[in-house]
Structure 1
Amino acid sequence: MQNNQYQPIIKGNKMQRFLKGVEWLGNLLPHPVMLFIWMCVLLLILSAVLSYFNVSVIDPRPEGAKGRSAEGMIYVVNLLNGEGLARIVDNLVKNFTSFVPLGTVLVALLGVGIAEHSGMISAGLRGLVINAPRKLVTLVVVFAGIMSNTAAELGYVVLIPLAAMVFHSLGRHPLAGLAAAFAGVSGGYSANLLLGTVDPLLSGISQEAARIISPDYVVGAEANWYFMFVSTFLISGLGYFVTEKIVEPNLGKYNPNDADDSTVLESKIEPLTALEKKGLLWAGISMLIFCLLLAWTIVPESGILRNPKTGEVAGSPFLHGIVVFIFVFFSVPGYIYGRITGSMKESKDAINAMSKAMSSLSMYVVLVFFAAQFVAFFNWTNLGSVTAVKGAEFLQHIGLTGPLLLVGFIFVCAFINLMLGSASAQWAITAPIFVPMLMLTGYAPEMIQAAYRIGDSTTNIITPMMSYFGLIMAMAIRYKRDTGIGTLMAMMLPYSIIFLVGWILLFYIWVFVFGLPVGPGSATFYTP
C-alpha cells in the first residue's frame, strides 16, 4: 500500500495547525474588492474621529518643500464633513482614471496579449522544456516557470501540467515536475529577466505611496530590474536544489496506480512543429533587431532617448516610456510569429488578441477602482503621513533600523500574503503605510518595493488563498488521488522556506554589503 510520503510531516503537529489556521483566517477575509470598500469606510470614520481630537505630527519635510504647510504641522483631515464629501464626489472618477498602475498595466498587457494569443509564448516555453538536456530538466522547468510570469496565467495553465508530463515521460515522479514548475511560476513570481506587467503595476502603487512624503517622487517600471534579473538565477538554482535533494526523494518512486485520471499518464508531449520553430526563429530575430535599435537610442552619449538635460539614462524618455517598449517587445514578435504559423492571418486577429487580453482584466479594473479611492482617501486625510511619522519615530525609538528592519518588513509581507494572495491588492493596502514610514527611516521606495516583492512571492505556494491554488490541487489529484490541501502545502513548504532565506541573503548582500541599486537609476537610500 502506497502511503503519502508528506502526510507525517504535517499530521498532528504544529505545522498542520498553523497551515489550517492560515486557511481559516484567509477564509474570513472578504473579497479584495469588498476589503477595499470596507477600508475606505473605515478611513472616513477614522478621519472624522482623529480630526475631532486634532491629531497631528511635525512635518518632516524641509521648509519650502512642496506641500509643506507654513506652520510645519500635519493634521488629520476630516472627509466626513461637507468639504470632504464634496471632494470625494468631485474626484471619484479622476481618482480612478489617474491611478498610475491602471494605464501602464493596460498598455503592457496589450503587447503581451498578442504574444500570448498568437501562441509564441506557449511555444517558446514548450520548446525550452522539451529540448532541455535530461540532467538540466529540473533547472529549466523552474527557470521557464519564472520567465512565464511575463504572460500572467500562462505558466499555471500551460507550463505546470507540461512539467508534470515531462517528468513522468522521463520515469520521474510527475508531482516533482508539478512542484518545480509551481515553485518557479508562483514562488519566483517577482523574479524575471524581462520586465512584465507586474512591474508597472507595483511601481505605480509605490509611486503613489512615495508621494505622501515627496510629492514629485517617480518610481519607474524598471525600478527593481537589476535585482529581479539576478534573482532569476538564484531562484532557479534554489528551485533545482529543493526539487532534486528534498522534494523528489521524499516523494519516492511513482506508482501509476495512484493516478485518479489514467488519461494523464497516456498524454503525449507534442514537440514543436517545423512551422512553430520557423515562427520562433523569426520572432527571435525581430526581438534582437528591436533591442539593437533600442540600444542605439540609449547607449551612445548622444542617444536620442537619453535625458535631454543631463545626457544620462536616469530620468530619460527611455525609462519614462519603458511600458511602451514592453508593448512593442512582445507585440511585434508575437504578430510575426502568428503570421508565420497561421494563428494570425490578418491584422484584425492581433486586434482580437488585444481585446481578449483586456477582457481578462475585468476583475482587475474593478479592483483598481476601489483601490484608487482607498489610496486617494489615505492621502487626503493625511493618515498616511501621520502614520509614517509616528511609525518612523517608534522604530527609531526602539532602535529597529538597518537590515533587521527590512528583514522584519519582508516577513510581515510574507505573512500577510498567506491571507491576501493578490500582489496588487496587498501592495495597494500596505504601500501607503510602509513606504512613507520606511522612507522616513532613510530607505528609498524602489528598495522598499524590492523587499516587498520577496515576501509577496515566497509564500504564494503555501497558501490556499492564492487564486490558482485550486487549479494546482486539481492537477495534483489527477496524478495522485489522495492529494489534499495539507499534502500540497507540505510539498511546497521547503521551496517557500529556502526561497525566503536565500532571497533575504541576496537582498542583504546586495543592499547592505555592496550598496548596489536595485534597478536603473534606483536609489537605495532616501534623503529628504
Structure 2
Amino acid sequence: MTDASPSAPPGRLDRALDWIERTGNRLPEPFILFAWLTLVVAVLSSAMAAFGVTVTIPGEAESTPVRGAFTGAGLEFFFTGLAENFIGFPPLRTVVTIMLAVGLAERTGMLAALIRLAFSRAPRWLLPYALGFIGVSGSVMADSAFIIIPPLAAIVFRAAGRHPVAGLIGGFAAAGAGYSTSLLVTSLDALFAGITNSVAATLPMAATTVTPISNYFFNIASAIVLSLLAGVIIDRVVEPGLVRSQFPDTEVDADDGKAATGPARQEQGTDPMAEPVSATVTPAERRGLRAAGITLLLLTVAVLVLVLVPGSPLRNDTGGYLPESPLLDSVVTLVFLAFFVPALAYGIGAGSIRRGADVPMLMGRALKDLSGFIVLAFILGQFIALFAWTNIGAWLAVSGAQLLEAIGLTGYPAILGFVVLASLLNLFIVSGSSLWTLMASVFVPLFLLLGYEPGFVQGAFRVGDAATQVMTPLNPYMIVLLTFVRRYQPSAGLGTVIAKMVPFVVPFWLAWVAILTVFYAFDIPLGPGVDVRVGP
C-alpha cells in the first residue's frame, strides 16, 4: 500500500498515539458522552446561577448573568426548544443537504470515474501534497469542506494504491486545522471583518477599517506553508502509521462486518461504488462525464448570470456582495447544485440512472450511511444550544482575558497568550464566528489600546481558531469523520480519530505561530493597508 514497512518497529510517536487512542476509546459512545456533558453543563450553570455569577462583556452597559438550566427559565428553554435545538443544529442541515447530492454523485459512479480520469496518471507521491493544498483551501466551501473533502480523498488514495484512511484523516485535518486560511477570499473573511469592525467602532481611537481582504497576504503565506506541511505529515507520519498498525484499508458492511466489495453490497438497482476502484474509465463513464461537464458548465453560466445581472436577488441592499449578501449565505445551495445536477446528467449518460425512481433510491443510500450521525445530532444540538443559552461560553472567554491582564502580559507575549487562549477555548467553542464574537469584544479594544491594529489581532485569532478544533470531541464534524472511518474499522471510537489528528495539531500550530511572528517582527502588512501597529 505504501513504502513504509508494516514490520517496522513502532517508534515513540506510534506508542504515544496508541496510548492516546486507547485512552480516547475509553470515552463513552459519543451519544452517551454528550448526554453526560449536557448534564454537567446543566448542573454547573445552575450552581453558578445560584451564586449569582455574571460576566461583563466590554462594550455592553450591563453585565450578563450565567443562567441555570435547573431553573424555571431553564426548564422552559428545554421543554419548548427540544425539537428546534435538534432540527436547527447547523451541521445537521449542512451535512444532510449536501450528502443528498454528494451521495447521488457517489452512487451513480460519477466521483469514482472523475477521480480515475483525473488521477490515473498522477504520481503517487504528489497526492498527499495536493490533498494538503485542497484541504487547507477548502474553507472556501465553508463547513461543506468537512464532509466533501475527506471521502473524496479516500477514493483518490484508494485509486492510486495508497491507504484510503490516510486520505480521510489527511483531508479532514487539513480542512479543519487550516480552516481559517485560504488562497481565495471566503465568506469567513467577510464574517470576521464585520465582527471586528463592529467592536472597533465602539472605541474613539482611529484604526484601519477591516475588510474581507485585510488578512489576505497573511492567508496566502499561511495556506502555502500549511499545505506543504500537511502533505509531509500525511506522507511521512499518518500513512506509514496506518500501515504499521495494519489499519484496515477495505470498507466493510456495517451490518455483517464483511468486506464491502462486489455483490455483498449490491441492492436492488445499480451501485457502482460497490465494485473495486479500477484505473480504467469505460466508454459509458466517459459519456457520463461529458454530459456532467456540459451540464456543470451550463449551470455555472446560469449562476453567473443570476449573480451578475443588475438587481440580482443575490446582491445585498447596496447592490454588492460584501460583507454580507444572499450569495454568501447560499454556499450550501451552490454546493448542492454543483454535485446534484452533474450527477443526474452523469447517471443518465452512463446508464446508472435508468428510471426516475433510481434517483431517490440512490440518494436514500447516502442518508443510510449518515443514520448514526443524525441520531447523534439530536444530543449534539441539545448540548450546544444549552451551552450557548447558559452564557458559560461568554464567561470562559472573559475570564481568560482577565487572567492575561492579571499576570501582566504585554507586547508580543500578550499576542502569543491570546493565541494560546483562543486555541484552548476552541476546544469548547468550535464555531469560529461565535468564538471571535466573544473574544473580539474583549481583545480588540484591549490590543487597540496597546497600539495594535484590529486586523492584526484578527489575524492572530485565526491561528488559534483552527488548529485545535480537529482534536476536540465537541467538534460535531468529528462524528461525521468517525462515521467514515467506521466504514473501514467498525470498532473505531472517538479516541481513534483524535489520535490520528494529534500529529497535525502541534506542527500546524507552531508553523502558523512562526508565520505570525515573521509578520510581526518585520512589520509586514497582513493585507492591503493593514499594518501590525496603529499609526505610522
TM-score, normalised via structure 1 length: 0.65
Match status 1:107 vs 2:91: no
Distance in 1 of aligned mates of 2:431 and 2:307: 36
Which secondary structure state, in structure 1, belongs to the residue aligned with residue 347 of structure 2?
helix
Q: 1:53-72, aligned counterparts within 5 Å?
A: 53-63=51-61, 72=62
User: By how many angstroms is 1:279 displaced?
Assistant: 2.0
> Could you tell me which of 30, 33, 54 is aligned with 1:32?
30
User: By how many angstroms is 1:361 displaced?
Assistant: 2.2
8 Å CA contact 2:127–2:157 kept in 1: the answer is no
8 Å CA contact 2:153–2:164 kept in 1: the answer is no
Partner of residue 388, structure 1 = 397
8 Å CA contact 1:344–1:350 kept in 2: the answer is yes
Which secondary structure state, in structure 2, belongs to the residue aligned with residue 79 of structure 1?
coil
Distance in 2 of aligned mates of 1:295 and 1:510: 37
CA displacement, residues 80-121 of structure 1 (integer Å, 9 cap, x when unaligned) = 134432332122122222333322332222222221221111
8 Å CA contact 2:131–2:153 kept in 1: the answer is no
Match status 1:127 vs 2:125: no
In the alignment, residue 43 of structure 1 is paired with which amino acid? V
* Percent pairwise identity: 26
Distance in 2 of aligned mates of 1:159 and 1:379: 39
Match status 1:316 vs 2:325: yes
> Could you tell me which of 12, 15, 18 is aligned with 2:16?
18
The change in CA–CA distance for 1:87 and 1:142 in structure 2 (over 3 A counts) is closer
CA displacement, residues 360-384 of structure 1 (integer Å, 9 cap, x when unaligned) = 2222222222222222222332322
User: By how many angstroms is 1:275 displaced?
Assistant: 2.2
User: By how many angstroms is 1:9 displaced?
Assistant: 3.1
Distance in 2 of aligned mates of 1:331 and 1:141: 23
Q: 1:273-312, aligned counterparts within 5 Å?
A: 273-299=282-308, 302-312=311-321
User: By how many angstroms is 1:333 displaced?
Assistant: 0.6
The change in CA–CA distance for 1:91 and 1:269 in structure 2 (over 3 A counts) is closer
Partner of residue 467, structure 1 = 482
> Could you tell me which of 466, 470, 495 is aligned with 1:453?
466
Which secondary structure state, in structure 2, belongs to the residue aligned with residue 25 of structure 1?
helix
User: By how many angstroms is 1:127 displaced?
Assistant: 1.9
Distance in 2 of aligned mates of 1:466 and 1:20: 19
Partner of residue 51, structure 1 = 49
Distance in 2 of aligned mates of 1:94 and 1:284: 39
Which secondary structure state, in structure 2, belongs to the residue aligned with residue 351 of structure 1?
helix
8 Å CA contact 2:103–2:362 kept in 1: the answer is yes
User: By how many angstroms is 1:342 displaced?
Assistant: 0.9
User: By how many angstroms is 1:130 displaced?
Assistant: 1.0
The change in CA–CA distance for 1:277 and 1:434 in structure 2 (over 3 A counts) is same
Which secondary structure state, in structure 2, belongs to the residue aligned with residue 154 of structure 1?
helix
Partner of residue 253, structure 2 = none
8 Å CA contact 2:46–2:69 kept in 1: the answer is yes
Partner of residue 423, structure 1 = none
Partner of residue 351, structure 1 = 360
Structure 1 residue runs without a partner (length 5+) = 64-71, 166-173, 214-223, 417-425, 475-484, 518-523
8 Å CA contact 2:422–2:465 kept in 1: the answer is yes
The change in CA–CA distance for 1:327 and 1:466 in structure 2 (over 3 A counts) is closer
In the alignment, residue 39 of structure 1 is paired with which amino acid? L
The change in CA–CA distance for 1:327 and 1:17 in structure 2 (over 3 A counts) is closer
Which secondary structure state, in structure 1, belongs to the residue aligned with residue 397 of structure 2?
helix
In the alignment, residue 482 of structure 2 is paired with which amino acid? S
User: By how many angstroms is 1:26 displaced?
Assistant: 0.8
Match status 1:162 vs 2:159: yes
The change in CA–CA distance for 1:106 and 1:343 in structure 2 (over 3 A counts) is same
Which secondary structure state, in structure 2, belongs to the residue aligned with residue 308 of structure 1?
coil
CA displacement, residues 3-53 of structure 1 (integer Å, 9 cap, x when unaligned) = 86752632xxxx466334423431232222222211211122122222222
CA displacement, residues 246-294 of structure 1 (integer Å, 9 cap, x when unaligned) = 579x99xx9xxxx999xx9xx9943111222232233223223322332
TM-score, normalised via structure 2 length: 0.64
Deviates more, 1:447-456 or 1:87-96: 447-456
CA displacement, residues 312-352 of structure 1 (integer Å, 9 cap, x when unaligned) = 44321111222111111110011111111111122322222
In the alignment, residue 7 of structure 1 is paired with which amino acid? P
In the alignment, residue 369 of structure 1 is paired with which amino acid? F
User: By how many angstroms is 1:122 displaced?
Assistant: 1.7
User: By how many angstroms is 1:74 displaced?
Assistant: 1.9
The change in CA–CA distance for 1:98 and 1:334 in structure 2 (over 3 A counts) is same
The change in CA–CA distance for 1:437 and 1:366 in structure 2 (over 3 A counts) is farther
The change in CA–CA distance for 1:273 and 1:509 in structure 2 (over 3 A counts) is farther
Distance in 2 of aligned mates of 1:509 and 1:299: 39
Match status 1:408 vs 2:410: no
8 Å CA contact 2:423–2:465 kept in 1: the answer is no
Distance in 2 of aligned mates of 1:84 and 1:497: 39
User: By how many angstroms is 1:502 displaced?
Assistant: 4.2
Distance in 1 of aligned mates of 2:346 and 2:168: 27
CA displacement, residues 422-447 of structure 1 (integer Å, 9 cap, x when unaligned) = xxxx7569997786246532389997
